Amino acid sequence: MNRFLQFGIVIIILFFTSQVFFVESYAPSLIIASVFPLLFLVFLIKIDVFETETFKDIIYVFLLGLVFSFFLCIPYVLIREYFFDNYGNLFVCFIAVAIPEEIIKIIPFLLVLRYRKFINEPIDFLIYSSSSALGFAFYENINYIIQYSESGNIVAIRSFLPSVMHMIVSSVFAFGIFLYLKSKKIKFLFIGLILSSLIHAFYNTLFIAPIVLLFILVYYSKMIQSLLNISPYYDKSKEKNINQAKNFLFLLILVILVLSFSFDLFISGFSSILRDPKSYVYLLIVPYFIYNIISSKLNLNRGEFTVFGNAKYLSKIKKEIQEIIDH
């Protein structure tokens, strides 16, 4: 796997280098697209307060996600374009876009789960699946930033909307894998794949994508909190360390907003801003809610698994999941 990763990185570097000479604004787009994933990788380290992952391991999975995305997306897109020409339909998007992309994103996570030893507590399933998803999102975002560089806000839009969505749905799939490993019930693998793909398809096809994102972000935030609460390494003296993650998340959002604004000035000058100044005000709303939703759940309490809310009102499958967690 290391040799494959090294080979893949060399090929990607050569590809990126060649694109710089042939595609206008490729270099700044490449650099700006890397900022959000790299900063969010640091945030993922900061939430892991009990048995903290190393940046080396997390960047390894991120790069693995990037390499697999680079090699698999080429044949995937060709096949998709051959068989489908419209992804606006929910079912078509589910079959042609969501399922293939969720499988591509989860492969690096499965490889490190199988061949590496650093996934050793519940929160690691979320951390490393999110890292792999960020590798995919980074590769995807470069082309979008180039294509829509003159539309304004594209850096912030791609950072706060699709990138966050990819992490959330990959964590849903990874949680299904976590439940399978604890219960040995294969149905949780299919539930994880189908649920993550459905959410992905709804996000892609509904015109209220930001609302869908904020809704599923509540789940992601509760999952962070709950998986930390059931960590076998739980140490009450480290509970307050989670506040560093809150502060870093605020800094992360601020940096992306400033860089997005600066990128627009660099590419199009004030014309892009004057063209639609309301969009900049609108864009402040989504990051505000992202920060508030995530930071509000960064409060820890040993043993509490609160993803599904009040246990009295759980459905049969949710009760089953709760019982698996409790055991």
According to the model, what pLDDT value does residue 274 have?
63
Domain count, the chain: 1
Whether 10 is in a domain gets the answer: no
According to the model, what pLDDT value does residue 25 have?
82
pLDDT in tens, the chain (327 residues): 788 888 899 999 999 999 988 888 889 899 999 999 999 999 999 999 999 989 999 999 999 999 999 999 888 888 888 888 777 788 889 999 999 999 999 999 999 999 988 899 999 999 999 999 999 999 999 988 988 877 778 888 899 999 999 999 999 999 999 999 999 999 999 999 999 999 999 998 877 788 889 999 999 999 999 999 999 999 999 989 999 999 999 999 999 999 988 888 887 776 666 666 666 676 778 889 999 999 999 999 898 888 876 555 557 777 777 778 877
Q: What is the CB neighbour count within 10 angstroms for residue 273?
A: 16
Helices (H), 84-208: 90-93, 99-115, 122-147, 154-158, 164-183, 187-205
Residue whose token pair is 């709303």: 285
Range of the domain at 192: 32-326
Token pair for 155 = 């850096």
Beta-carbon contacts of residue 132 (< 8 Å; ≥ 6 apart): 61, 62, 64, 65, 105, 106, 107, 108, 109, 170
Whether 129 is in a domain gets the answer: yes
Token pair for 227 = 């998986």
pTM of the model: 0.93
Whether 4 is in a domain gets the answer: no
Whether 6 is in a domain gets the answer: no
Whether 16 is in a domain gets the answer: no
Whether 46 is in a domain gets the answer: yes
Whether 15 is in a domain gets the answer: no
Whether 26 is in a domain gets the answer: no
**What's the CA gap between 161 and 182, in Å, rounded?**
32
**What's the CA gap between 41 and 101, in Å, rounded?**
20
Token pair for 265 = 């000035």
Question: Which residue, 263, 169, 252, is CA-closest to 209?
Answer: 169
**What's the CA gap between 200 and 216, in Å, rounded?**
10
Question: Which residue, 1, 73, 289, 278, is CA-closest to 164?
Answer: 289
**What's the CA gap between 112 and 109, in Å, rounded?**
5
